[in-house]
Amino acid sequence: MLYSMYEMSRLAMTPWRAAAASTKRTLEAPWNPMGDTIAGRTMVAAADLFESVTRRYGKPEWMLDQVMIEGVDVPVVETIVWEKPWCKLLHFEREESGLRAARGEREDPKVLFVAPMSGHYATLLRGTVDAFLPDSEVYITDWSDARMVPMSDGRFDLNDFVDYVREMIAFLGPDVHVVAVCQPGPPTLAAIACMAHEQDPSRPATMTFMGSPIDTRLSPTVPNKLAEEKPYEWFAGNLVHSVPMPYPGAMRRVYPGFLQLAGFMNMNLDRHVDAHWNFFNQLVEGDGDSADKHRTFYDEYLAVMDLSEEFYLQTIKDVFQDHALPLGTFDHRGWTVNPAEITDTALLTVEGEKDDISGIGQTQAAHTLCSNLPEGLREDYIQPGVGHYGVFNGRRFREQIAPRMKAFMKEQGAQALARRKSRKTRKAS
């Protein structure tokens, strides 16, 4: 019912949005002298602000059409290389001739970014991908919006997420470097642990976890505390709703993206109110550059997707309430996941000093769980001065975090392949 009411209220705003758009067009018309007055600019700014806060934001485009490599502009094509109903694996394929002209015959590492399935689209990692494109073959998970997945395509829970990640790693091969950003940390670690348990030859060379809730008992944040204070039944009874018509996923039970967005906004409400007030003033003053930066950020931030009921509720229970992975009780298809079985996939953890989503220590917990991993295959880094978003985006990410990640992958990747080749030789003899 709540979802239907939300859709009805959104549709009810349509004529008002049309009126605001009409007002803006009229005032901005070259023949209208009022558009150059303070009153006219104020009315245009008000109409623009009204439109931006009342529309529904669709899935953003990646807008990564080319990359600069060694001074050469190389075209980039977004291709789907693996696909199932709940996810597409995207490859940002750099045009071959331009790539050779820029780098010669150098082989770049394969990097798989496991994007969060926590309300925002994978495009939230646009800056992350962009930072790696010049010297990496970049792949990223593009998770499906639950409201767009027909009921006939079945359910999707946390164990399915583990299976999907494992299949994509196997598809890319043993020389891949896996990077899990935020939410997918626990299921990605579980997938790699499963591969280690079975001595899967496709297990990755390295794994990196960034701002991930591996163990939310450490430095609990506001979202962590909410998940523990409210009983499981409260989440099931209050935050799960049915997708209305005419969406392809009509009647599917989901955790709506608009509820997740409301939670995010309320965490820093004053900051968002100030940002929109500044946006209004920038429009009035004609500060187009600052206004465009605001639009760019919020076009991404306000675009949200729904999560399937079973995935959302299992994540709440297993990750945030029962702490199943760190306590050794996470069950995957009848097997209790044990990260201690990982012995040859190098581990890097990255945290932000001011992260208010995944507190300090939650990601570092991966080192404790991977207890049989040699010290030479471990590295931990805390980035000063950044919050959650800054762990994987922004200037400090580009200038300080990404170079560390690339150096780690280069060093450990070569060693991992050498170790496995040596092990095969010994077994053969």
Q: How far apart are CA 349 and CA 209, in angstroms?
A: 5
Give 46 or 393, the one with higher predicted confidence: 393
Is the Cα torsion angle 396, 397, 401, 402 positive or negative in sign?
A: negative
Helix runs in 202-319, H state only: 222-229, 232-238, 257-267, 269-285, 288-301, 309-315
Same domain, 120 and 103: yes
Name the domain boundary from 278, 301, 324: 301
Q: Which amino acid is residue 161, in one-letter code? A: F
Same domain, 102 and 161: yes
Into how many domains does the chain fold? 2
Same domain, 172 and 30: no
Is there a domain that residue 260 lies in? no
Stretch (H or E) spanning 428: helix 402-428
pLDDT band (50, 70, 90) for residue 416? confident
Same domain, 72 and 26: no
Is there a domain that residue 42 lies in? yes
Same domain, 87 and 103: yes
Is there a domain that residue 258 lies in? no
Same domain, 404 and 283: no
17, pLDDT greater than 80: no
Q: What is the DSSP letter of 321?
A: I
Is there a domain that residue 183 lies in? yes
Do residues 46 and 16 make contact, with C-beta atoms less than 8 angstroms apart?
Answer: no
Q: Which residue(s) pair with 68 in the sheet? A: 73
Close Cβ partners of 324 (under 8 Å, ≥ 6 residues apart) = 318, 330, 331
| pLDDT confidence of residue 204 | 95
Instruction: Kindly report the backbone phi and psi dihedral angles of residue 350, in degrees, each rounded to the nearest multiple of 5, phi listed first.
Output: -130, 130
Other CB atoms within 10 Å distance of the CB of residue 367:
19
Same domain, 328 and 394: yes
Domain that holds residue 52: 2-56+269-301
Name the domain boundary from 257, 277, 301: 301
pTM: 0.89
Same domain, 337 and 198: yes
Give 376 or 12, the one with higher predicted confidence: 376
pLDDT digits (tens, 9 = 90+) for 224-257: 998 999 999 999 999 999 999 989 999 999 999 8
| pLDDT confidence of residue 30 | 79
Is there a domain that residue 352 lies in? yes
Same domain, 74 and 50: no
| pLDDT confidence of residue 329 | 97
Nearest to 188 by CA among 81, 85, 112: 112
Tokens of 119: 């309300």
Cα-based distances in Å from 135 to 101, 126, 237, 398, 413: 14, 16, 47, 13, 15
Is there a domain that residue 262 lies in? no
pLDDT band (50, 70, 90) for residue 177? very high
Residue 391: give its domain's CATH number.
Answer: 3.40.50.1820
Same domain, 167 and 20: no
Is there a domain that residue 249 lies in? no
Task: Tell the residue number behind the tokens 């998970």, with chain if given.
Answer: 141
| pLDDT confidence of residue 429 | 56
| pLDDT confidence of residue 42 | 84
**What angle do the packed helices 288-301 and 269-285 form, to 10 degrees?**
140
pLDDT digits (tens, 9 = 90+) for 56-97: 778 889 999 999 888 888 899 999 999 999 999 999 999 877
Q: How far apart are CA 204 and CA 177, in angstroms?
A: 6
Is there a domain that residue 318 lies in? yes
Do residues 171 and 83 make contact, with C-beta atoms less than 8 angstroms apart?
Answer: no
Give 257 or 339, the one with higher predicted confidence: 339
Same domain, 20 and 86: no
Of the listed ranges 298-302, 332-336, 344-348, 385-389, the least confidently predicted one is 298-302
Q: What is the DSSP letter of 58?
A: -
Q: What is the DSSP letter of 316?
A: I
Q: What is the DSSP letter of 373?
A: S
Same domain, 106 and 11: no
Q: Which residue(s) pair with 91 in the sheet? A: 79, 139
